[in-house]
């Protein structure tokens, strides 16, 4: 007996979701997204502020965007994600619709429903798409995983640590100051 064929979704399916429903698309598979909680949003706000201030203070050319912000990872019809934070340093990738191609730096803040996505599915996808640096911020585990894909290195930190930013030498984020 043949196995049933999985449905392959496209970005067009994402744009036809009912109002208020959010999902991501990875290799044609659709993944529903739950609304974030307060702790998630506090961490997101603190990180966005720190990164944005650093870029502005140093007259940087990169842009930091927060979800919901469309990232078309492979510039095809089968991959669409909304990372919590995306830092894009190539303005040629940016359009009114979002980012075409891999951002330089992505941060995902783990929620109870996103653990498998952030640690497994997105980790592989971001690496293969060409993201230079990927952080997984997990307040439940008091852990920040930093994947430097460009340097092929991985480091683990806690919310008591100052975490260096690979794409910006000399810049670090003090997680001890982030209220969780």
For 121-168, write each residue's pLDDT tens digit.
999 999 999 999 999 999 999 999 999 999 999 999 999 999 999 999
pLDDT for residue 3 is more than 50: no
Cis peptide before 68 (omega within 30 of 0): yes
pLDDT for residue 32 is more than 80: yes
Mean pLDDT of the chain: 93
pLDDT value for 20: 86
pLDDT value for 34: 87
pLDDT value for 38: 93
DSSP 140-162: TTTEEEEEETTTTEEEEE-TTSE
pLDDT value for 23: 93
- pLDDT tier at 18, thresholds 50, 70, 90: very high
C-alpha span between 88 and 92 (Å, rounded)? 10
- pLDDT tier at 84, thresholds 50, 70, 90: very high
pLDDT for residue 1 is more than 50: no
pLDDT digits (tens, 9 = 90+) for 37-70: 999 999 999 999 999 999 999 998 999 999 999 9
Express the helix, strand and coil content of the chain in percent, nearest 5 each: 25, 30, 45
pLDDT value for 2: 52
48 sits in which H/E element: helix 38-57
- Which residues fall within 8 angstroms of residue 112, CB to CB, at 6 or more apart? 140
């Amino acid at each position: 007996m043949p196995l049933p064929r999985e449905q392959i979704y496209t970005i067009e399916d994402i744009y036809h979701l009912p109002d208020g429903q959010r999902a991501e698309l990875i290799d044609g598979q659709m993944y529903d997204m739950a609304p974030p909680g307060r702790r998630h949003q506090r961490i997101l706000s603190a990180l966005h502020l720190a990164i944005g201030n650093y870029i502005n203070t140093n007259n940087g050319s990169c842009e930091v965007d927060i979800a919901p912000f469309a990232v078309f990872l492979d510039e095809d019809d089968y991959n669409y994600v909304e990372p919590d934070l995306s830092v894009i340093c190539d303005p040629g990738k940016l359009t009114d619709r979002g980012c075409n191609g891999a951002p330089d730096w992505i941060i995902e803040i783990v929620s109870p429903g996103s653990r498998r996505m952030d640690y497994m599915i997105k980790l592989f996808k971001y690496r293969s798409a060409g993201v230079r640096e990927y952080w997984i911020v997990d307040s439940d585990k008091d852990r920040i995983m930093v994947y430097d894909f460009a340097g092929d290195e991985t480091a683990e930190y806690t919310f008591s640590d100052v975490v260096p930013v690979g794409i910006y030498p000399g810049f670090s984020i003090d997680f001890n100051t982030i209220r969780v």
